[in-house]
Structure 1
Amino acid sequence: MNTKTKGILLTIASALLFGVTPVLASLTYDMGSNASTLTFYRNLMVVPVLIIVMLVKKIPFRLHKKELGLILLVGIVFRASTTYMLYDSYQYIGIGTSTTLHFLYPVFTALICRVFFKEHMGKFKIIALVIASAGILFFFDPSGSLQWPGLVLAIASAVTYSCYMTGMDKTALRDINPNKVACYMGLSNALAMLALDIPSGNIVFALPPLAMGYTFIIAVCTSFLAVALLQMGIKELGASTAAIFCMFEPVASMLSGWIFLGEAFSWSNLSGCLLILGAVAVIVMSDHRSADKRPQVVPEQGPSR
């Protein structure tokens, strides 16, 4: 398996984990949880798990000042703020509209990589990006009021998440062990959420045992497995390409909601899924085409016996 294929599979696996867990999140909301509580516990609960993993694998806990600064910047300023703004946008506009606007982040990721890092955008990547973005628009839900604060928050969450993706690719975080990054980001993000939410009293500390169990599963699947897989995928593909494969997340979310929660699944949703799959196919075919064009190295023949 070449590195490109490995990166694709890792990123898709991460997207599927991120996409399926909202089913459990919906169940915890029915038991008294909310977005702030889930975000707080999702980051906090994974820290002990990651500490155990690091001890077993003998991964050093030490961080250099520069590495700690990057984790705080990328983790809190970009990743934690993304979750906070996205959840906050739900009170102004519908969840479907918020999610659709948030998944414009591959466009912003590609623009950041092109403008600030002079990354080359091949024609196949541009085509795939356009197709995938068009597919996301098929999930757009225009029902309900579209208030400006919600639109701004949702789009801002797309920008900050694209900064998170780029930061994981273009900084020293790229080469730090994924478990170490996830551990320190989980701890710093939990503390940041605590500082933001304690004054408003949004965090519910006493949840039913079943809700806490579901929350723990969400924490392990997202802040542990999905984050680590995404970091490894970005390392193999680069931020702009990985962002396209992350679009499997809304597909997985839509399908899991339809299968497990009985949510509506329209022809428009199906069209969006097919377009996203088509964009992925364009990237995969372009990779095979590039491989076919590379000159084949013929091993030298030794003297015949």
Structure 2
Amino acid sequence: MNKTKGLTFGILAAFIYGFTPILGKLTYLEGSNAISLTFYRNFLSIPLLFVVLKYNNIPIAINKTETKKLAILGAMGSTLTALTLYGAYNYISVGMTTTIHYIYPVLVTIACILIFKEKISKEKTIALILSTIGVMMFFEGDFSIIGVSLALISGIVYAVHILFIDKSGLNAMYPFKITFYAAIFSSLYLFIFGVASNNLVFKMSLTGWFFTFLVAFFVSFLANTFIPIGVKNVGPTVTSIVGMFEPITSIILGMLFLNEPVTRRNVLACILILMGVLIVTLAKGKRADIKSK
């Protein structure tokens, strides 16, 4: 394991996940929608990932067991999480959706302790508490059972997604190979869903396609590959905690590029999350910490 490498890639993934919604909003202005963006961000990344595998002489073939695992993985993070998260935005605010979705680090930690009988250091526990309180401060007052349910499902599915990478043994596979097949399966699932629901857009402006490609490059090519690297090197718990850096990125960039307001409450929330991430970053590795293998 390489803790510095794991933390770096985990934070980079969170940063990318945080700023790409801005690009996503720009694609909507050019004729796209949530389903189409999620489909194309996976589909357009496949050629890029294929080139990386060929350039590094990584065998493309996978066996039946790996195929099943990758098919399951593709159905979770890039498909079900995205669909339920975007679906929640139609019923409740982004702030409430984000708050509920970020229950996943807590779920990952609980699963590691109760199901996998692993131990969590005091530093990680404190970091998790601070970061969770910070995220909860983004909570807003509107309410919808459907919206809350969808946001909760998105958090549960993403927690399973992170744990599955670690516990299924997929983290031993070359990271870009994991992302390559996850993108293929996710593209297949989303194409079927998009066509069946009549939500898949085939015509966009040139600008829309440009922003869509950027989302594909940053999210499906880079960030989705960085997550397995983070899980492999620091484990699912720490990867989940540093993932809370995402809403901070969204708030700062939303303020800079979309003129979105920032309240004192949001600033305090960001400080608590940063404190949690900082504690995890500075904490010394211990035998009692979550292991990624």
TM-score under structure 2 length normalisation: 0.94
Question: Which residue in 1 is equivalent to 2:225?
Answer: 228
Question: Which residue in 2 is equivalent to 1:242?
Answer: 239
Question: Which residue in 1 is equivalent to 2:291?
Answer: none
List, as ranges, runs of 4+ consecutive aligned residues in structure 1 with deviation greater than 2 Å.
none
> What letter matches 1:48 in structure 2?
P
Whether the 8 Å contact between 1:124 and 1:282 is mirrored in structure 2 is yes
Deviation at 1:194, TM superposition (A): 1.1
Paired positions, count:
287
Which runs of 5 or more residues in structure 2 are unaligned? 288-293
Question: Which residue in 2 is equivalent to 1:214?
Answer: 211
Question: Which residue in 2 is equivalent to 1:284?
Answer: 281
SS in 1 for 2:52: helix
Query: What is the rounded CA distance, in whole Å, between the counterparts of 2:25 and 2:32 in structure 1?
Result: 9
More displaced, 12-21 or 72-81? Answer: 72-81
Whether the 8 Å contact between 2:245 and 2:277 is mirrored in structure 1 is no
SS in 1 for 2:196: coil
Question: Which residue in 2 is equivalent to 1:260?
Answer: 257
Whether the 8 Å contact between 2:38 and 2:78 is mirrored in structure 1 is no
Question: Which residue in 2 is equivalent to 1:57?
Answer: 56
The reply on whether 1:166 has 2:187 as its aligned counterpart is: no
Match of 2:176 among 162, 173, 179: 179
Whether the 8 Å contact between 1:67 and 1:172 is mirrored in structure 2 is no
> What letter matches 1:187 in structure 2?
I
Deviation at 1:73, TM superposition (A): 1.0
The reply on whether 1:193 has 2:190 as its aligned counterpart is: yes
Whether the 8 Å contact between 2:44 and 2:213 is mirrored in structure 1 is yes
Question: Which residue in 1 is equivalent to 2:27?
Answer: 28
Task: State the structure with more CA Rg.
Answer: 1
Question: Which residue in 2 is equivalent to 1:96?
Answer: 95
Deviation at 1:58, TM superposition (A): 1.2
The reply on whether 1:44 has 2:43 as its aligned counterpart is: yes
Deviation at 1:42, TM superposition (A): 0.7
> What letter matches 1:81 in structure 2?
L
Structure 1 residues 73 and 208: CA distance shift in structure 2, 3 A: same
Deviation at 1:79, TM superposition (A): 4.0
More displaced, 50-59 or 234-243? Answer: 50-59
Whether the 8 Å contact between 1:114 and 1:121 is mirrored in structure 2 is yes
Cα displacement string for residues 5-40 of structure 1 (whole angstroms, at most 9, x for unaligned residues): 221111101111111111111111111211001001
> What letter matches 1:20 in structure 2?
F
Query: What is the rounded CA distance, in whole Å, between the counterparts of 2:111 and 2:102 in structure 1?
Result: 15
Query: What is the rounded CA distance, in whole Å, between the counterparts of 1:13 and 1:199 in structure 2?
Result: 35
Sequence identity (%): 34
Deviation at 1:241, TM superposition (A): 1.2
Query: What is the rounded CA distance, in whole Å, between the counterparts of 2:76 and 2:26 in structure 1?
Result: 29
Whether the 8 Å contact between 2:31 and 2:203 is mirrored in structure 1 is no
Whether the 8 Å contact between 1:79 and 1:164 is mirrored in structure 2 is no
SS in 2 for 1:149: helix
Taking only aligned residues, the RMSD between alpha carbons, in angstroms, comes to 1.4
Whether the 8 Å contact between 2:76 and 2:158 is mirrored in structure 1 is no
Cα displacement string for residues 93-117 of structure 1 (whole angstroms, at most 9, x for unaligned residues): 1122111110111001111111221
Cα displacement string for residues 188-223 of structure 1 (whole angstroms, at most 9, x for unaligned residues): 101101111212211111111111110101101011
Which runs of 5 or more residues in structure 1 are unaligned? 292-305
Question: Which residue in 2 is equivalent to 1:73?
Answer: 72
TM-score under structure 1 length normalisation: 0.91
Question: Which residue in 1 is equivalent to 2:84?
Answer: 85
SS in 2 for 1:287: coil
